[in-house]
Amino acid sequence: MYVIAGVTGNTGRVAAETLLARGEKVRVVVRDPAKGQAFADKGAEVAVADLSDAAALTNAFRGAKGAYVLVPPNFVVTDFAAYQDGISDAIAQAVAAAKVPHVVLLSSVGADVPAGTGPIAGLYRAEAKLSNIPGTVATFIRAGYFVENLGGSLGALAHGILPTFFAADFPVTMIATQDIGELAATLLIEGASQTSAVQLGGTATGGTTYEDVADAIGRITGKRPQVVVNPVSAMSDALQGFGVPKTMADLYQEMTTAMLNGTITHQPGLRTIPMKTSVETVLRGLLSA
């Protein structure tokens, strides 16, 4: 039986549904029992636990062959790094206490770097904790930039523009969350004999630029937006203007800067899985929502 966290979100939902469709036993972890009903209807067990509650998570993990976990976003807390550490501490404690043999963590490209990468540094620390549990092996999905993040820029299409803090011709290693969820399910079924990381995202040409995104939007809507590049130094203030707490906004600016200067980049030599779902496919969904 596999335990899946984050099933009301992008990747956990796909992981759980993929496993159920393949005939595997699944236990979903939800905070609100009502949100587990759709999975119970498909034959899954439902455990109620907050990812920051080690005792409840231990119960949720008991008897699992493998577990899929993530450190969810949180746009309310004022100290995001402390929030991330609270979640990864609880997950690591619960994995150890429940003796889960295999844990798959949704991590990120750049999680090989200890600091200076914004929120990704919290995933570096989460990987470290899960790497040191006797009797447990971990697989880290070092995912690229979610294509779904583009949803935050689509509001400006009404004005004919696609805003970004990346240079218009900067190749961003993007990945659809559908691909991540499917990979998580596959990795759980495969199992693992040693702790390792898998890189996920990118294309044969190395990435997707915002000009590529504008082209795709043009093909879908018939109206190609103009890419408008904002300086990355203005990112924190802009996000705070949308209500994002300052510490989080600063971390996003740090992450984007680290992507632009090459601190966050794919590592040569790691197993790398290219994207299956195209940027255009995800954009079609976002634009029709």
Ligand X SMILES: NC(=O)c1ccc[n+]([C@@H]2O[C@H](COP(=O)([O-])OP(=O)(O)OC[C@H]3O[C@@H](n4cnc5c(N)ncnc54)[C@H](OP(=O)(O)O)[C@@H]3O)[C@@H](O)[C@H]2O)c1
Which residues contact residue 155 at a Cβ distance below 8 angstroms, ignoring those fewer than 6 apart? none
Among 3, 4, 11, 185, binds ligand X (CB under 6 A): 11
Is residue 177 involved in binding ligand X (CB under 6 A)? Answer: yes
Among 21, 22, 50, 132, binds ligand X (CB under 6 A): 50
Residue position matching structure tokens 């807390």: 77
Among 6, 36, 66, 163, binds ligand X (CB under 6 A): 6
Separation of alpha carbons 262 and 278, rounded Å: 24
Footprint of ligand X on 258-277 (CB under 6 A): none
Cβ distance to ligand X smaller for residue 122 or 225: 122
Closest alpha carbon to 225 in 150, 152, 154 = 154
Footprint of ligand X on 116-145 (CB under 6 A): 123, 143, 145
Per-residue binding letters, 62-101, with ligand X (x by CB under 6 A): --------xxxx----------------------------
For the record, the structure tokens of 247 come out as: 């510490």
- Asked if 164 and 208 touch (Cβ cutoff 8 Å), the reply is no
Among 149, 221, 230, 261, binds ligand X (CB under 6 A): 149
Side chain identity at residue 176, one-letter code: A
Footprint of ligand X on 181-200 (CB under 6 A): none
Cβ distance to ligand X smaller for residue 177 or 236: 177
What is the nearest approach in angstroms of ligand X to the Cβ of residue 39?
11
The CA distances from residue 13 to 94, 197, 209, 263, in Å, are: 21, 22, 28, 31
Q: Which residues pair with 3 in a beta bridge?
A: 27, 67
Side chain identity at residue 266, one-letter code: H
Residue position matching structure tokens 């109206």: 223
Binding site for ligand X (CB under 6 A): 5-12, 31-32, 35, 50-52, 70-73, 106, 108, 123, 143, 145-146, 149, 177
